Structure 1
Amino acid sequence: MELRHLRYLVAVVEHGSFSAAARRLHIAQSAISEQLANLEQEIGVPLFTRTTRKATLTKPGELFLEEARRILAAAQYAIEIAQQAHRGKIGVLRIGFFAGATGVSFPRLIRQFRKKHPDVQLSLIEMTSGQQWQALLKGQIDVGFTRRVEPEFQSDLLYEPMQQDPIVAVLPKNHPAAAAGTVDLRDLANEPFVLSSRDTSPALFDKVIELCSEAGFSPRIASISTVWSSVVLMVQAGEGVALLPMNQQQFRTRDLTFSPLTAKNAFIDFVMTWSPQHDTDLNRSFRELAKLHRIDASVERDTA
């Protein structure tokens, strides 16, 4: 049994005869008669009472017609679902992120995507950058928002720069270097440093070491924390100074300053990354919107 058998059956019923159905479907009447006869033979039940002018459904035929219509409707629905999925309109999209870098633009992007694709189920999963790279390779998430992709993953993952977050010095309010408004890292050479752990923030850890090295010293590490909020708390507690990316989610405190650095390369990339091996049309739809969102955000900053 094939779907065309069911379509022929419905057409004969709706148009009242084999000849009328044949004209409607633009096929030979003999083809419809032969195919429906084969259908009756296959299921072992007569579906029509035939006369020279009219074909009338038998009682079993009437029941069969109801199911045939349901099957055809389900098949059409399956086609539409597949077409929508192909256009990136439906499905499940799993997005990895880490709160320390997303800022206010990330929630705005998610809201816009939900509005544009109401039938897509979004799953937001907070993960470190390293966890996201592993999850992308395994197909456990579809898109990740991370820092710069580490070299060992660059052959398997693609990424698109989304923004550059300036790195600032987190200092006690009464620190001498805070008075100037901007900070030359050389003025912090003798300070103890609180760093984000390289296990959770490899790109930031390496960037801090790089900036200090370019300023002519190696930071004296007093403490290491796993998240940026803990780094800030350590500075508040007097454990040392810190270098952190600045974004609009970071809280402000009365006893600390977040001072820009004078170094021209005092920034760190925030990227959108994905696995080409597990790419889909839905993923591509999201990335296209994210790129437009990045451009819009850039224009907003330039005109602000």
Structure 2
Amino acid sequence: MEIRQIYYVLEIAKQKSFSGAAKALFITQPAISQQVSSLENELQIKLFQRDTHKVILTKEGERFCEYGKKVLEAVDNLTEAFGQGRSDQKMILNIGVFPFYRIAGLARALTFFFSTNPNVLGSMKVVENYKAFEKLKNEVLDFAIIKAIPETIPGYISYDILQEENLCAVMSSKNEYAVKEYIDIQDLGKLPLLTGERNSHLYDYMKNLYESNGLNFNVAFFNTNEAELMLEMMASGTGILLATQSIAEKISGKNAKACVIIPRQKLCTVLAYKKECKLKGLQIAFRNHILHYYQTLQSEEEENLVMQVEGSAADFTEKTDFK
């Protein structure tokens, strides 16, 4: 049994709805249903009776909630004794995130943090870098998770590098370059580009990349936050997108292909916050959570790479006759 499962059961009982509880706890309904089912299997009881209109507690569920409230009260007393707020004293955490954060899998990390820290109210919005820096400086945001070159980050911002990746060109599978694994940077100037709005960091970054390599900066469309629209335009052949490799690979499929740009261009995912602001309590917990998430992500990628290499080596050895 986990503490978060107790929170889930109590919130479902309060909302009389799995969907209502999921919304209140910043978690998906399938995830909360899975946790409750797991708990019911562990305890060998049924906590809820479900019908088409509402969810109500069973007798065992009522007994569970009675003891669960006492457990959470003890947890509240423990955390309060060590400088944390109680669960009924909500702390607001304002976070900015980069476009395509959902495709990158970041939503999973954020929802897990908020669902397991019910005394934190999360406010999250998509921001481009210039606005993120301004909002961090003015303390409108507590954190921003953005794509950036570290050398371009203002001095008043502290940051942790979460991930460094290759930059890719993502294009319609019908594009003539889509048959390649790599695309020479000189070829980018031959293709129309989908980029950020003028005066945005994304626009300036791409413009500098093109101009510094003597390329034609042929912009087909300006947009920063409308991820779905940009993907539709890319798939239809209106233009190409530039994206980090983890995002590019997830976009790739039947209608899209990602090509690594050579010479390789590196771009980082960073967790940014105001340098003058001393992190405390749940802010430290959030930073540690995001750092751990990306460290785990990197470890999984390295393990997958090792497995791929070992598998390829085994296939090669099996198919090759050294006699």
Please name the residue that 2:125 is paired with: 125
State TM-score, norm by structure 2: 0.57
5+ residue gaps in structure 2? 1-75, 305-323
**In structure 2, C-alpha distance between the alignment counterparts of 1:170 and 1:248, rounded to whole Å:** 10
Q: Which amino acid aligns with 2:141?
A: I
- 1:290 aligned onto 2:290: yes
State TM-score, norm by structure 1: 0.60
1:165 shift after superposition:
4.1
Residue correspondence of structure 1 range 123-272 to structure 2 within 5 A = 123-148=123-148, 154-200=154-200, 202=201, 204-213=202-211, 215-227=213-225, 228-248=227-247, 251-252=251-252, 254-265=254-265, 267-272=266-271
1:111 shift after superposition:
4.1
The alpha-carbon distance between structure 1 residues 284 and 233, as it changes in their structure 2 partners (threshold 3 A), is same
**In structure 2, C-alpha distance between the alignment counterparts of 1:121 and 1:107, rounded to whole Å:** 15
Please name the residue that 2:274 is paired with: 275
CA RMSD of aligned residues (A): 3.6
**In structure 2, C-alpha distance between the alignment counterparts of 1:123 and 1:222, rounded to whole Å:** 33
**In structure 1, C-alpha distance between the alignment counterparts of 2:81 and 2:139, rounded to whole Å:** 21
1:198 shift after superposition:
4.2
The alpha-carbon distance between structure 1 residues 285 and 90, as it changes in their structure 2 partners (threshold 3 A), is farther
Q: Give yes or no for contact 1:97–1:145 (8 Å, CA) kept in 2.
A: yes
**In structure 1, C-alpha distance between the alignment counterparts of 2:224 and 2:247, rounded to whole Å:** 20
1:272 shift after superposition:
0.5
Q: Which amino acid aligns with 1:190?
A: K
1:95 shift after superposition:
1.9
**In structure 1, C-alpha distance between the alignment counterparts of 2:151 and 2:164, rounded to whole Å:** 19
1:104 shift after superposition:
4.5
Identical aligned pairs, as a percentage? Answer: 17
1:260 shift after superposition:
2.0
The alpha-carbon distance between structure 1 residues 134 and 102, as it changes in their structure 2 partners (threshold 3 A), is farther
Partner of 2:210, secondary structure, is helix
Higher RCO, 1 or 2 (CA under 8 Å, sep at least 6)?
A: 1
Q: Which amino acid aligns with 1:220?
A: N
1:253 shift after superposition:
5.7
1:287 shift after superposition:
1.0
The alpha-carbon distance between structure 1 residues 297 and 235, as it changes in their structure 2 partners (threshold 3 A), is closer
**In structure 2, C-alpha distance between the alignment counterparts of 1:220 and 1:156, rounded to whole Å:** 34
How many pairs align?
225
Partner of 1:136, secondary structure, is helix
The alpha-carbon distance between structure 1 residues 253 and 142, as it changes in their structure 2 partners (threshold 3 A), is same
Partner of 1:296, secondary structure, is helix
1:252-303 CA distances to partner (integer Å, 9 max, x unpaired)? 56343222223222x3211111113333312122112222222111111100
The worse-fitting range, judged by mean Cα deviation, of 143-152 and 286-295 is 143-152
Please name the residue that 1:94 is paired with: 94
1:90 shift after superposition:
7.1
1:246 shift after superposition:
4.1
The alpha-carbon distance between structure 1 residues 233 and 81, as it changes in their structure 2 partners (threshold 3 A), is same
Partner of 1:209, secondary structure, is helix
The alpha-carbon distance between structure 1 residues 196 and 246, as it changes in their structure 2 partners (threshold 3 A), is farther
**In structure 2, C-alpha distance between the alignment counterparts of 1:269 and 1:149, rounded to whole Å:** 6
The alpha-carbon distance between structure 1 residues 112 and 243, as it changes in their structure 2 partners (threshold 3 A), is closer
The alpha-carbon distance between structure 1 residues 214 and 163, as it changes in their structure 2 partners (threshold 3 A), is same
Which has more radius of gyration? 1
1:164-218 CA distances to partner (integer Å, 9 max, x unpaired)? 3432222232322222222112234333333222434x1x334433443455423
1:222 shift after superposition:
3.3
Q: Which amino acid aligns with 1:224?
A: F
Q: Which amino acid aligns with 2:92?
A: V
Partner of 2:100, secondary structure, is helix
Please name the residue that 1:300 is paired with: 300
**In structure 1, C-alpha distance between the alignment counterparts of 2:239 and 2:149, rounded to whole Å:** 29
Q: Which amino acid aligns with 1:212?
A: Y
Q: Give yes or no for contact 2:150–2:268 (8 Å, CA) kept in 1.
A: no
1:24-57 CA distances to partner (integer Å, 9 max, x unpaired)? xxxxxxxxxxxxxxxxxxxxxxxxxxxxxxxxxx
1:225-274 CA distances to partner (integer Å, 9 max, x unpaired)? 33444333333444333423344495456343222223222x32111111
